[in-house]
Amino acid sequence: MSKKSGLREQNLKTLDPSKLTPLTPEVISRQATINIGTIGHVAHGKSTVVKAISGVQTVRFKNELERNITIKLGYANAKIFCAKDGKVPRPQSYKAYGSSKEDSPPCDAPGYEGAEMELLRHVSFVDCPGHDILMATMLNGAAVMDGALLLIAANESCPQPQTSEHLAAVEIMRLKHIIILQNKIDLISESVAANQHEAITSFIQGTIAEGAPVVPISAQLKYNVDAVCEYIVKKIPVPVRSASYITAAG
């Protein structure tokens, strides 16, 4: 462990490249090993949820900031931790930080401050634009996804045009691992949220997303973001990739 950065050292003199996996602590300490896309209709909260998880604002360019929409693909990395102490209740035991976070930060869940946290995932988010004229850009992003977060705004009817189009796109890509985020629940009543949940369930029937978890969140208020982190860890497997490049580099 590097005392300066709090990150594990990647030393090929002590590591066997043939035994490295996408979840080896020395690997995920410094490198994201899974790509997760954010998809869905324009202004449903894709960039906001990425910022809530990673702390990174993916809307960066002048024309994006002026119009408050994603135009180019946005990228942000995040580390997801879980408290080692099994006494910390779920989902509060899960916490996400930016990519540079040390590997063993203290838990900050109320009543469990200081409990040791374990790094479980290092995720690279691909933030896709939701506007209809930017579907080609979205498809480029879908090509590298291992899983996806489908954002559906709770204060609008479901499905919206790009909700359907983005789901169809990842279905073509045969992307099997999808988590649905019912966003903006802070703007509606409980009964409206329940009715829309039924609409979402009906919408995904017969699609590749059928049976996917539907997580109510408020990305703006960071409500239930810990639950999203737990679902990412438990529902989106990290793909096995070749480590031959490491061997070559050594």
Return the residue matching tokens 């070559």.
Answer: 248
| pLDDT tens by residue, 63-112 | 544 444 445 678 899 999 999 988 999 999 999 999 999 999 999 999 99
pLDDT of the residue at 215: 98
pLDDT of the residue at 248: 42
Return the residue matching tokens 């860890």.
Answer: 233
36 touches 236 (CB < 8 A):
yes
Both tokens of residue 199? 């609409």
pLDDT of the residue at 118: 96
Beta bridge partners of 76: 125
Domain 19-78+125-238 sits in CATH 3.40.50.720:
no
> What are residue 228's phi and psi, to 5 degrees?
-60, -45
Q: Which of 214, 236, 75 is nearest to 151 (CA)?
A: 214
- What average pLDDT score do residues 124-146 get? 68
